[in-house]
Chains A and B, each alone.
Chain A
Amino acid sequence: MKAPDAAIRLEHVSKAFDSRPVLCDVSFAVAPGQAFCILGRSGTGKSVTLKHIIGLMRPDAGRIFVEGDEVSALGGAALGRVRRRMGFLFQNAALFDSISVGENVAFPMRRHTRRSDEEVRERALRKLADVGLERDYDKMPADLSGGMRKRAGLARAMALDPSILLVDEPSAGLDPITSAEIDDLLLARKRQGTTLVVVTHNIPSARTLGDELMLLHEGRIAAQGTTAELERSSDPLVHAFMHSESGG
């Protein structure tokens, strides 16, 4: 069954590694243009959820829809077509270290569009300018700081102007100022209508970005709602998480 009303929908998704359950009967939906933040302690299945959405992992049970296409049942070229509508910012950016920063951003365009070399380079430069890295086209990823790598990763994730952006720990390993800069860039994407799914420990970041928050605990949804709803929660786990000093 297709679900065109939601940009992303998970229905009763379960996943286990070596008989250790990581996701247990997880269901949620993200409306188009919404920013959806997944919170939780380390090892509760947040990144695994993102990888299921883009089809890097397959659920043991349940179904996953992206803009009406059942990602969990697709493979090959059909899955590729759905992935082209999504961007993925990895926790450590996962830039291809054998090519320059600019070529990292140009890579999806070279693969999936028929634009000329010049046009691809121009567009890649524009994407880098959006994240403040227009002078770093020819640098190698190893020459960038952690924050710059994240921004370059964001530029690459946005290379094909996807309608959905999946972001894994945007503030991990970054100082508060750089982290806020990344949040601003994500907010700019959201304002342009991109659907965001953001995995984070960082509560201030989730407050800034999230229209809706979901707290995962031991592979299950412990709470879901707006920031205000979760902050009012009397559940000790939710209360502890939302009011933790470090923000998570």
Chain B
Amino acid sequence: MYKWLQTTGEGAIAILAWVGRYAIFGARALRDVLRPPFEGGEVARQIYEIGWRSVPLIASSGFAIGVVLSMHTRASLERFGAEAMIPAGLAIALIRETGPLTTGLLMSGRVAAGIGAELGAMRVTEQIDALEASAVDSFKYLAVTRILACVISLPLLTVVMDFAGILGGFLAERAITHMSFGLYFTRAFSLVEFQDFIPATMKTTVFGFIIGSVASHLGFETTGGTEGVGQASTRSVVLASILIIATNVVLVRLIFFLFPVVRS
């Protein structure tokens, strides 16, 4: 019993200590993003690596999700003779929730694993120390640039996901009803308003911050050689995914509070 309590207590302390270190890391990133040097070249390179190179994954996933959502929506609305609402229902579902959350989770898989492994490998091979020895602020150069790239890329990729999904939904619908492109998109956007699109898309900046900061933090803290690098990569994906799902609940509540129209 005593040993169990001791193990549990030590585990709880270790978790709290990690949360504290992560909070300091995140706060420092928020502070340093506003302080020169701004590392514009490196941020652009990371946006290319993190954002642009994720477009095929996000677009193809969005397309597939659109097809599947369209089939499900048809199955439900057909019973009530409301097939005309399929494009609007799909667009609302994608833009308000499915697009942002799926983009966040897909990116936490692709990008968090990559950042965790890359920075972890740099830590254990002393490349981060070599940057510092070259009088370069490794935190700004490696962590802040990646976090900023994630924050900028996520909303843009969410837009890609939304439109790929609507396109997928259109093709699924066209295969059955031969609906025209113009009519489908008119119906799809007939119910979508500013309050549906902007808050839901902009909340992914928070997802981007979570992905970039969690993975960078775990990469910077890596110890223990190759095994440590693998753990940093896996933990980055798991923790970023859990935090995105948990934060999403809070953000949706916040959006409902700030934009009451979205609830209706």
Contacts and interface: CB of A to CB of B under 8 A. Distances in A.
B135 interface: yes
Contact of A92 (B125, B131, B134): B125
Nearest to B133: A88
Contacts of B137: 76, 80
Interface in A11-70: 51, 54-56
B127 A96 contact: yes
Interface of A: 51, 54-56, 76, 79-81, 83-84, 86-88, 90-92, 94-97, 107-108, 111-112, 156
B123 to A, nearest CB: 11
B129 A83 contact: no
Given A92-B125, A94-B125, A97-B125, A81 B130 contact: no
A108 B132 CA distance: 11
A83 B125 contact: no
Interface size range on B against A:
10 to 19
Say whether chain A's binding surface is mostly helix, strand, loop, or mixed: mixed
Interface string B213-227: 000000000000000
A95 B133 CA distance: 12
Given A76-B137, A83-B132, 8 more contacts: A86-B133, A90-B130, A92-B126, A94-B127, A94-B130, A97-B125, A108-B134, A108-B135
B176 to A, nearest CB: 48
Contacts of B129: 51, 56, 90, 94
B136 A111 contact: yes
Contacts of B130: 88, 90, 94-96
Nearest to B121: A97
A156 B129 CA distance: 14
Contact of A83 (B126, B127, B134): B134
Contact of A84 (B126, B127, B131, B135): B135
